[in-house]
Structure 1
Amino acid sequence: MTDSGYEIIKKWELPEILNEISGIAYIGDHRIACVQDEDGELFVYNLKSSKVEKSISFAGGGDYEGITLLGEDAYVLRSDGVIFEISDFQDKSPEVKKYLTKTHQLPGINIEGLCADSDNNRLLLAVKERKNSPLYKEIFAFDLNTKDSNENPLYKVALEDGVFEKVKGKKEKRFSPGEIGIHPKTGEHYILDGSKPKLLITAKDGTPKELIMFQSRDFGNPEGLTFSPEGALYISNEAEDEPANILHITLNRTSN
């Protein structure tokens, strides 16, 4: 156990094709779907064999930052807020649709976090940066019935909240969300910051509950996060001084 409140259970070093891994989603049967932030390809990685089983092309080059699954469909987020829906993504010829959301039209926005909220039939989008919003971070909802997002965020995370007091530096630099996930057992939101590695855990309504600091020696550049149905937590790191990897970790929570 580290002083930061986590333990690494297992580590998988990834092949070079996933050096820029930016998002992961648990498929099942020890398999994880991965995207990287340069090419429009979805990769299926097998945790048992430690190999990429296959890749699925869904678009051309772009800054792809997040992936999530809902049933047999995959959703991939581009950093400008565009969402790609890959229906029956494991079929030989999956259908791909692209949605230009209202968040895509917001000026100066960079969105990197994506997860499925199956209870409400929607996706959650975590904003990393947005012009003229220095003291809070926004989480938007993408309605899967209407295939669009609201112009107003679902909730805001205030960077002046007491949970961030342990973070040194200017308030506007305290937190930069790069990924979001929903714990399958508790419903809590897990929001990952890769710039200064840490994990914010919030209630369902976005109220901050706990901030867990990560050691940079373990988390070189964490950008992906996913859960197994049982609640096992996986975090992926882009290649830095060592190969890209996926970590299975447990947390030493101080709050419930």
Structure 2
Amino acid sequence: MPRFDNQTVLVTGGTGGQGASHVRALHAEGANVVIGAVDAERGAGLAAELGGAARFVHLDVSQEESWVAAIAETERAFGALTVLVNNAGVQNPPALIESTQRATWARILDINLTGTFLGIKTAAPALRRAGGGAIVNIASTMGIGGTACYAPYVASKWAVRGLTRTAALELGRDNIRVNAIHPGVVATPFITEPAAGSDTPIADFYSPEPFAIPRLGQPADITALLLFLISPHAAFITGAEYVIDGGLLLGPALPKEAA
């Protein structure tokens, strides 16, 4: 029997590299999947590809009224919401702090941080109505260490850590678990293509050669951890943070010739 029969999952940023991976895997495991995104063409196309247990909803995560409408449509379509995956995020074009525009700072925090806050705020009552569930916030290894030239993104992901822990404390007695995943460098357009207003992708700042596992991550690596965290196997886990980065944060690996 599929792991997530009778579960309904809302995935924000559901048309991106990681988001679409999560959506497809959840659907394959029997979940009703709601694809929240601003790209209607890609979102509707993915929902059509997956079939009746998938829906696309237009969702601008920085706008509370958009969240309210998305949650209402989710409950209308499937009766209950049991899982929220706060996956939507954007990166800033690389720039020193002194050269970063205030508008850039505001946009990154609006989507990455305020979007996560609004997701928790509006989904919590729906999860409570369902008798409980899970929230997983997709953060970043940049939320654990500093990264030059990415101050808005780094600040947003550091803040998601505190938000995750606070939500876990507030919602635990309602049988709602809240955890965070910190992906490292994952081979998606988010990493391999430049952000708007930039000529330099984040991948140019990293080489996997010194990682303990010397490759870029794949979306499926993150999806596998996500599926565990929303499953009954993680029923006693809340307020936790999981780094999945191939050893990026560990420091340089021992060269083979030195082993």
TM-score > 0.5, shorter chain as reference = no
Query: Greater CA radius of gyration, 1 or 2?
Result: 2
In proportion to residue count, which structure has more helix? Answer: 2
In proportion to residue count, which structure has more strand? Answer: 1
- TM-score when normalising by structure 1: 0.32
